[in-house]
Amino acid sequence: MTRSDAPAAPASAPSRAADRPRASSSGGTKALTAWRPYWARRFGTAPFLPMSRAEMDALGWDSCDIVLVTGDAYVDHPSFGMAVIGRVLEAQGFRVGIIAQPDWQSADPFKALGRPNLFFGVTAGNMDSMINRYTADRKIRSDDAYTPGGAGGKRPDRACLVYAQRCREAFHEVPIVVGGIEASLRRIAHYDYWQDKVRRSLLVDAKADLLLYGNAERAIVEIAHRLAAREPVDRLTDIRGTAFVRRPGDPGAQGWFELDSTEVDRPGRIDAHINPYGWEADGQECARSESAAVRPEPADGHSTASPAAPAPTALAVVAMPTPTRRPAEGRIALPPRERTVIRLPSFEQVRSDPVLYAHANRVLHLETNPGNARALVQRHGEGKTAREVWINPPPIPLTTAEMDHVFDLPYARAPHPAYADERGRHDAATKIPAWEMIRFSVNIMRGCFGGCTFCSITEHEGRIIQSRSEDSIIREIEDMRDKVKGFTGVVSDLGGPTANMYRLACKSREIEAACRKPSCVYPGICPNLGTDHGPLVKLYRRARALPGVKKILIGSGLRYDLAVQSPEYVKELVTHHVGGYLKIAPEHTESGPLSKMMKPGIGTYDRFKAMFEQFSAEAGKQQFLIPYFIAAHPGTTDEDMMNLALWLKRNGFRADQVQTFYPSPMATATAMYHTGLNPLKGIHRDPARGAEKVDVVRGERRRRLHKAFLRYHDPANWPLLREALQEMGRADLIGNGKHQLIPTWQPAATGGYCSPRRANSTPAPGAKATAAAPAAPKKGQLLTQHTGLPPRETGKRPAGAPGPRGKAPAPAGARKPRGR
């Protein structure tokens, strides 16, 4: 269904499927540029969004309409979420101020710009605050790439929650809207790796009015204009990409059809789920729409689906009203999707029952396609304290014209002057590492249809690729060349979540709108997916030809199973855009863990490697592939890691940086880690019905072992590997032969491997202090940051507080969090 108010594409642009507006189950969507500008647009464009009252005065503002609070330093660049949201709102005519990395110990810093006229917008920043602060081993990092000087400790744990509470304390009556990656991944009850328990929806804990998930430009613009029109915030319950809280029995829920999905293996109508592990012969499985009428199920709850499909989960039993039955056909007519809500198991249920947690995670991921997703509801609490978290369907993706509008806004492409040193520069002590990394890069697209279970991109940005026009990208490169200090002619990246999904899309809008599959490229490339890399090759060539541009590198991760579909693209990439090394991520070599990751087999990597070496030789260049692998992923056995180590040795790879699986909230692999079940297959209580159990790598020793296999060449790992190989009955791999993994001898003195993250981590108990690993703080010396708030007042003097002789307190930091 097209949108009549969407901006028209240029007449010269080809009519590509990737550029057309997406179908929506709820009808058309208003374009970003179709809103009538707010009256404050007369103030014009700010060189930087103000961070102080003095800057507001210089702009002639008496107040801000919207105040954005972020855990990152303010960098006015389209790679930083708060800059994008701020500039988009400014383009709508609103006066937007930013409070960046405020001191959360009190509400005073949140009053710095005064009371916002419309609302507070709160985010933890570009990264989840817990992943930003803790390593995969739950050790505290000492640095923060989004802070001047890389200094750590400038944001609290669970920053979104803490900032929202302080905003409420500062101005109780002002609406609070939370968003960003941290909010997206915590919109329902979720497993929290750092406390090893299931936590409530962030919306409930933060007591915010609205939660935005995914790319939020469309939703935030509508919220701002409707609040500016004096519509109460509790009436904003119909905006896509938002979540809100209402009481059970709220009149606003009247007229909705509720599908009960609070249990599994329940008699009633059962939705036959898409099989993520195979395609139907005609390639149309992803087109099967559950909006079509289905046959009623037998009383025992078994599906009448094709025998080739996995046993389905009891997903949707109609609760109100009862669906109509068509006697002539013996079918059930489902209610309209735009007025249907699926009831997930409650917070209390998923907290205590791993089976229901896996089931809820499965349902959530099925309802992520904007073309067919239904609303979700999950109860938190019981009795009088009960609240219901409603999650509206995902936002409609931006069109190419809307993407151009967002990225063509007047970004300064630099950190705010408040961070500059006395020379007005942002280097040395004032350098923001994350900005340095993306300073000369250009984002060309959003989204990822890979569906990797350990990755959060799909949960946040969605599976549908949103691409900018070639002209818009070229304009940004020219602006970067002409205006950004330090540009030497080298563009560090043209990419996004992936390097080579630019303008790739489903060949049919109807099939795309009905698709329920979690990945378009697993277990193979969907026959309905367009894989033409021609527009990307054309973009590379045009960008290379720009005056003043010497080299364009590709730094984003490459999806090599797509790249092998286009030898022309691989040749273009290898010949012109590889700076000696190209990183790709096969993640593993064994089918067991790869099936849990939804990644292609190692044979696809071998095909790409052959093409890479061929085209490198033809170009007369010596270039290298840098493969990345994951240790300790759910579904990985010790034998899998041993086989991966043998593959690494046979191929002459010695991994330097080792990535250990990090359970981020809401990811499918995290559900596997928490429950020991595979949500990609049917979730059942009866093992006989086919529920698949997953080998979960827990415990410090086993996680260290899996990392040690990846670094089999490090002498510091040899004692652990010898012990493990003997326990596995593979002592034949211990010896000095070429076919053996580790030698029998041990160097007399070896300091072992010092990883790049060692300086960012708290040392192990009893470890000696070094320059790279400073001594651990003494117990009681530092205040906890686990809740993000200072300890409660107890009447006692906190450890480190000034004593009777006026000694200065110890610096703020963190101790081991509770609940682990």
Residue 45 pLDDT > 60, yes or no? Answer: yes
In this structure, which long-range contacts are made by residues 326-334, counting pairs with CB atoms below 8 Å and at least 24 apart in sequence? 326/293, 329/293, 330/295, 330/296, 331/293, 331/294, 331/295, 331/296, 332/269, 332/293, 332/294, 332/295, 332/296, 333/293, 334/290, 334/291, 334/292, 334/293, 334/294
The region of weakest confidence among 288-297, 340-349, 351-360, 439-448 is 288-297
> Across the chain, which distance is largest between two alpha carbons, in Å?
90
Residue 653 pLDDT > 70, yes or no? Answer: yes
pLDDT at 809: 42
Residue 658 pLDDT class (50, 70, 90 cuts): confident
pLDDT at 643: 97
pLDDT at 693: 93
pLDDT at 799: 47
pLDDT digits (tens, 9 = 90+) for 795-810: 444 444 444 444 444 4
pLDDT at 598: 96
Q: Which tops the pLDDT comparison, 60 or 683?
A: 60
Structural tokens at position 162? 């803490």
Exposure on the CB side of residue 555, measured as CA atoms within 13 A: 14
Contact between 345 and 356 under an 8 Å Cβ cutoff? The reply is yes
The region of weakest confidence among 305-309, 469-473, 666-670 is 305-309
The angle formed by the CA atoms of residues 538, 448 and 458, to the nearest 5 degrees, is 165
The region of weakest confidence among 79-93, 531-545, 636-650, 805-819 is 805-819
Residue 817 pLDDT > 80, yes or no? Answer: no
Neighbours of 294 (CB within 10 A): 19
Chain CA centroid to CA 440, Å: 23
- Non-local CB neighbours of 53 within 8 Å, separated by 6+ positions: 112, 113, 114
**What average pLDDT score do residues 521-542 get?**
96
**What average pLDDT score do residues 730-741 get?**
94
Contact between 76 and 413 under an 8 Å Cβ cutoff? The reply is yes
Dihedral sign from CA coordinates of 673, 678, 684, 689:
negative
Distances (CA, A) of 252 to 380, 394, 405, 676: 18, 20, 35, 38
Residue 316 pLDDT > 90, yes or no? Answer: no
Residue 329 pLDDT class (50, 70, 90 cuts): low
pLDDT at 814: 39
How buried is 60 (Cβ within 10 angstroms: 0-12 exposed, 13-18 middle, 19+ buried)? exposed
Residue 526 pLDDT class (50, 70, 90 cuts): very high
Residue 396 pLDDT > 70, yes or no? Answer: yes
Residue 15 pLDDT > 80, yes or no? Answer: no
Residues in the chain: 820
Which residue(s) pair with 380 in the sheet?
387
Contact between 447 and 465 under an 8 Å Cβ cutoff? The reply is yes
Cα–Cα distance for residue pair 194/358, rounded to 1 Å: 19
Q: Which tops the pLDDT comparison, 607 or 798?
A: 607
Structural tokens at position 731? 């002592």
Residue 335 pLDDT class (50, 70, 90 cuts): confident
pLDDT at 190: 97
Tell me whether strands 441-443 and 493-495 are parallel, antiparallel or unpaired: parallel
Structural tokens at position 40? 């404050």
Contact between 163 and 129 under an 8 Å Cβ cutoff? The reply is no
Cα–Cα distance for residue pair 413/429, rounded to 1 Å: 19
Cα dihedral angle (465, 466, 470, 472), rounded to 10 degrees? -160
Percent of the chain surpassing pLDDT 70? 80
pLDDT at 68: 98
pLDDT digits (tens, 9 = 90+) for 619-628: 999 999 989 9
Cis peptide, bond prior to residue 102, ω within 30 of zero: no
Task: Output b/e per residue, 421-451; b: 16+ Cβ within 10 A.
Answer: eeeeebeeebbbebbeebbbbbbbbbbbbbb
The region of weakest confidence among 7-21, 91-105, 391-405, 432-446 is 7-21
Q: What are phi and psi of 44, to 5 degrees?
A: 80, -165
pLDDT at 456: 87
Residue 411 pLDDT > 60, yes or no? Answer: yes
The whole model's pTM is what? Answer: 0.83
Closest CA to 533 of 561, 491, 575, 492: 561
pLDDT digits (tens, 9 = 90+) for 196-246: 999 999 999 999 999 999 999 999 999 999 999 999 999 999 999 999 999
Closest CA to 415 of 397, 392, 391, 433: 433
**What average pLDDT score do residues 438-455 get?**
95
Cis peptide, bond prior to residue 719, ω within 30 of zero: no
Q: Which tops the pLDDT comparison, 24 or 586?
A: 586
The region of weakest confidence among 326-330, 399-403, 513-517, 742-746 is 326-330
pLDDT at 786: 36
Residue 293 pLDDT > 50, yes or no? Answer: no
Tell me whether strands 176-178 and 75-76 are parallel, antiparallel or unpaired: unpaired
Closest CA to 284 of 516, 448, 17: 516
The three-class DSSP label of residue 67 is: strand
The three-class DSSP label of residue 204 is: helix
Q: Which tops the pLDDT comparison, 809 or 558?
A: 558
How buried is 748 (Cβ within 10 angstroms: 0-12 exposed, 13-18 middle, 19+ buried)? exposed
Alpha helices by DSSP H, listed for 628-692, are 638-650, 668-675
* Mean pLDDT taken over the chain: 84
Structural tokens at position 9? 């594409």
pLDDT digits (tens, 9 = 90+) for 104-131: 999 999 999 999 999 999 999 999 999 9
Residue 270 pLDDT > 80, yes or no? Answer: no
Write out the E strands in 360-505: 375-380, 387-391, 414-415, 441-443, 445-446, 466-467, 490-491, 493-495
Distances (CA, A) of 223 to 226, 514, 706, 744: 5, 28, 47, 66
Cα–Cα distance for residue pair 396/215, rounded to 1 Å: 10
* Start-to-end CA span in the chain (Å): 49
